[in-house]
A and B are shown apart, each in its own frame.
Chain A
């Protein structure tokens, strides 16, 4: 009997692993924001759940406008939104005390060192000055700024400036962190470190994160859920896993070598088999993946084919995103 090496990605095989029972940190209902004659948000309705959520969309989709509206920089024309239970129109200050913003642009207070800048951000958020200094050192340690924290921020590299932007957003222990293009301007190593920081802070630390970006690999790396926005409207929302799911839940079976007999055996059992990519066949059969696996094993035994891999087929996030934004 041929040896079978089975790839079984447990996280991909169970639909019930990510139930949508999480609490919303923000609820947006029919939000309309206009800048003069231009409508930036056009009746956007969505819920931002706990955890790490990606806000995806092409340039000009309304991602940054949504963040500005949540923080109260921009007044909505109509609609409503609540963030952490507070209404954005009446409780802006309370929201900003519980939310941290890492803006896309460079922003720092000239003439200050990193410690002073981050401590000042803490004091602005309401921390007593002694606590702010202590906490400033703590978050700067977390963000990887060592002795450079005592230098003026104007002398910093892009990577260091991104770190202090993250530090000033974290200093007051927010419940919701808004990151606008966190990897902007970073080299590959810096990007990896920043994404690692974001992933670390957004999982298991009691902090929800909303990452606004047009870089799909970054979103896929750190986020569990995405919200896709296009022309100020919601186009798709859900877990990344769900968005990448293909209709009908086909499976990809990788063989040691192409085997027409294996294909025929599967077709005899009622499967539809797509043309192979190299030695990987995409098979569609009704039933759970476990049942499909049993049928595939049977077919392999009958025909002498060697199965090297088995996983539930999914499309790339890019394909899912393109489909979402091109849908009418």
Chain B
């Protein structure tokens, strides 16, 4: 047998070794690499910006076909009544489902698969603490999620800044970019925390994903139901009680919606002001109280991380 060209005997490693701190970045890098390799990642990322594309089409068509009377009865160009920040709110709401699917893809199995493969032994037998592991896994979901949210939002923002300044894009709210940065980070913060908690409680990624999806859709059912109740009460001539609008925001989508409305200081408005049948009220659930929902949002995220922390163990220890 011919001898190998290279020397295959063991050689010790005498190269540089960084101090045993901040291993979270290596973990985050690997998580991001594995996420972006998944087949559905790019598809669902593209789908999450569909509402921005629709908005661009609407604005383009409206700008090029400006008339006194439009086909839907409007009397003037929509730009005269458009609230720019609400367009970002609407786009955010429309992308929620796709961002959830992304969170499911990236986050459901992030710790569950490690539990199943006993990979925690590898992590924690190196100079890597539990804190590094949690931070790394959290960032591994937060960073891609934020980039996916940021890309279309910021592109749309700068496009509108360049093209629609004459329609009040800048003057309506010069601080919109700051609010937008807050909005962009929200899904990352929310989904990273919740998916870490759910994933850490299971040994199988699919089971964790199923539970996560169940929690998401069950909670969104509450929002859907309360939204319908609010609309019915508002159109019935009465004032919907505060509890209805509060419960409207009590879901994973709802609480994010609430925080964005607080950030933008708006109740929301439609893109195209369609005239409704006589007596019908446009459904606008009002902006919620910041002193309830902001702490609630951060409490949910913090609690989720605590749950993940308590579940992570290198070895099974019988107490």
Q: Which residues of A line the B interface, CB within 8 A?
A: 35-36, 38, 68, 71, 73-74, 93-94, 96-97, 99-101, 103, 105-112, 116, 120-121, 123-129, 131, 135, 138-139, 141-142, 168, 170-173, 200-201, 205-207
- Top 5 A-B pairs, shortest CB-CB distance: A173-B13, A93-B20, A124-B126, A93-B127, A126-B18
CB-nearest residue of chain B to A141: B8
Q: Are A206 and B12 in contact (CB under 8 A)?
A: yes
Q: Are A107 and B10 in contact (CB under 8 A)?
A: no
CB-nearest residue of chain B to A205: B10
Q: Are B119 and A107 in contact (CB under 8 A)?
A: yes
Return B169 CB to nearest CB of chain A, in Å.
Answer: 43
Q: Are B11 and A138 in contact (CB under 8 A)?
A: yes
What are the residues of chain B within 8 A of A200 when measuring CB–CB? 9-10
Q: How many interface contacts (CB-CB < 8 Å) are there between A and B?
A: 130
Given that A35-B318, A96-B125, A207-B12 are contacting pairs, would A107 and B118 also be in contact in the complex, using a CB cutoff of 8 Å?
Answer: yes
CB-nearest residue of chain B to A97: B127
CB-nearest residue of chain A to B25: A123
Q: Is the interface of B mostly helix, strand, loop or mixed?
A: loop
What are the residues of chain A within 8 A of B123 when measuring CB–CB? 124
Given that A96-B20, A103-B118, A103-B121 are contacting pairs, would A125 and B318 also be in contact in the complex, using a CB cutoff of 8 Å?
Answer: no
User: Does B128 belong to the interface (CB within 8 Å)?
Assistant: yes
What are the residues of chain A within 8 A of B125 when measuring CB–CB? 71, 73, 96, 99-101, 103
* Cα–Cα distance between A239 and B23 once the two chains are bound (Å): 39
User: Does B114 belong to the interface (CB within 8 Å)?
Assistant: yes
Return B142 CB to nearest CB of chain A, in Å.
Answer: 19
What are the residues of chain A within 8 A of B122 when measuring CB–CB? 107-109, 121, 124, 168
What are the residues of chain A within 8 A of B19 when measuring CB–CB? 126
What are the residues of chain B within 8 A of A107 when measuring CB–CB? 117-122
Count of B interface residues, CB-CB < 8 Å: 44
* Cα–Cα distance between A123 and B118 once the two chains are bound (Å): 19
What are the residues of chain B within 8 A of A108 when measuring CB–CB? 117, 119, 122
CB-nearest residue of chain A to B27: A124
Additional 16 contacts, C-beta under 8 A, given A93-B129, A101-B121: A35-B319, A93-B20, A101-B125, A105-B121, A107-B117, A108-B119, A111-B113, A123-B23, A123-B26, A124-B127, A126-B17, A127-B18, A172-B17, A205-B11, A206-B12, A207-B12
* Cα–Cα distance between A129 and B317 once the two chains are bound (Å): 33
Q: Are B114 and A36 in contact (CB under 8 A)?
A: no
CB-nearest residue of chain A to B34: A111
Which residues of chain B from 1 to 60 have any CB-CB distance to chain A below 8 Å in the complex?
A: 6, 8-21, 23, 26-27, 30, 33-34, 37
Partner of B17, one of A101, A106, A111, A125: A125
What are the residues of chain B within 8 A of A138 when measuring CB–CB? 11
What are the residues of chain A within 8 A of B8 when measuring CB–CB? 141-142
CB-nearest residue of chain A to B6: A141
* Cα–Cα distance between A112 and B37 once the two chains are bound (Å): 10
Partner of A201, one of B10, B13, B118: B10
CB-nearest residue of chain A to B37: A111
User: Does B97 belong to the interface (CB within 8 Å)?
Assistant: no
Q: Are A121 and B117 in contact (CB under 8 A)?
A: no
What are the residues of chain A within 8 A of B101 when measuring CB–CB? none
What are the residues of chain B within 8 A of A125 when measuring CB–CB? 17, 126-127
Return A43 CB to nearest CB of chain B, in Å.
Answer: 20
Q: 5 A-B pairs, CB-CB below 8 angstroms?
A: A100-B125, A116-B30, A124-B128, A126-B20, A127-B18
Return A155 CB to nearest CB of chain B, in Å.
Answer: 13
What are the residues of chain A within 8 A of B129 when measuring CB–CB? 93
User: Does B315 belong to the interface (CB within 8 Å)?
Assistant: yes
User: Does B124 belong to the interface (CB within 8 Å)?
Assistant: yes
* Cα–Cα distance between A205 and B12 once the two chains are bound (Å): 7
What are the residues of chain A within 8 A of B318 when measuring CB–CB? 35-36, 38
Return A236 CB to nearest CB of chain B, in Å.
Answer: 27
User: Does B314 belong to the interface (CB within 8 Å)?
Assistant: yes
Given that A124-B123, A126-B20 are contacting pairs, would A171 and B13 also be in contact in the complex, using a CB cutoff of 8 Å?
Answer: yes
* Cα–Cα distance between A216 and B113 once the two chains are bound (Å): 35
* Cα–Cα distance between A105 and B14 once the two chains are bound (Å): 29
CB-nearest residue of chain A to B112: A110
Q: Could you say which of A110, A116, A171 has the most chain B C-beta atoms within 10 Å of its C-beta?
A: A110
Q: Are B126 and A121 in contact (CB under 8 A)?
A: yes
CB-nearest residue of chain B to A123: B26
* Cα–Cα distance between A103 and B122 once the two chains are bound (Å): 8
Partner of B117, one of A71, A109, A171, A205: A109
Given that A73-B315, A97-B126 are contacting pairs, would A135 and B13 also be in contact in the complex, using a CB cutoff of 8 Å?
Answer: yes
Which residues of chain B from 212 to 251 have any CB-CB distance to chain A below 8 Å in the complex?
A: none
Return B116 CB to nearest CB of chain A, in Å.
Answer: 8
